[in-house]
């Protein structure tokens, strides 16, 4: 699995660096090493980020949505079911709202 910057879902510039390879600026990275990481990212996803007044909050929410989407499209049907079945109650609401496209 992969990691994505919270600005534009690009990779790290170098391993161990916190620079986004696309923006060349400091960023936080969302890492997905297994199904569990994906489940926890969906569970803590910023529901309603698109209503945020702060453009930075919006950008981070959008980047996170894109990153999760990219990971989901790499999974098999069985793995997607595993993600769905492992979600918290809040995570299931978020799933229906944002990720129930596959
Ligand atoms: Zn970036």
Question: 19-28: per-residue pLDDT in tens?
Answer: 999 999 999 9
- Mean predicted lDDT score pLDDT of the chain: 94
Confidence of residue 1 (pLDDT cuts 50, 70, 90): low
Residues with CB under 5 A from ligand 1 (ion): 5, 7-8, 10, 20, 22-23
Confidence of residue 10 (pLDDT cuts 50, 70, 90): very high
Ligand 1 centre to CA of 85 (Å) is 32
Ligand 1 centre to CA of 9 (Å) is 6
The beta-strand segments (E) located in the chain are: 3-5, 29-31
Q: Other C-beta atoms within 10 Å of 67: how many?
A: 22
């Amino acid at each position: 699995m992969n990691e994505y910057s919270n600005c534009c879902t690009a990779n790290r510039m170098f391993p161990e660096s916190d620079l986004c390879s696309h923006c060349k600026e400091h960023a936080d990275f969302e890492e997905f090493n297994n199904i569990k990481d994906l489940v926890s990212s969906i569970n803590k996803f910023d529901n309603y980020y698109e209503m945020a007044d702060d453009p930075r909050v919006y950008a981070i929410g959008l980047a996170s949505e894109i990153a999760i989407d990219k990971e989901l499209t790499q999974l098999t049907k069985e793995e997607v079911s595993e993600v769905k079945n492992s979600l918290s109650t809040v995570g299931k609401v978020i799933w229906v709202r944002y990720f129930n496209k596959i």
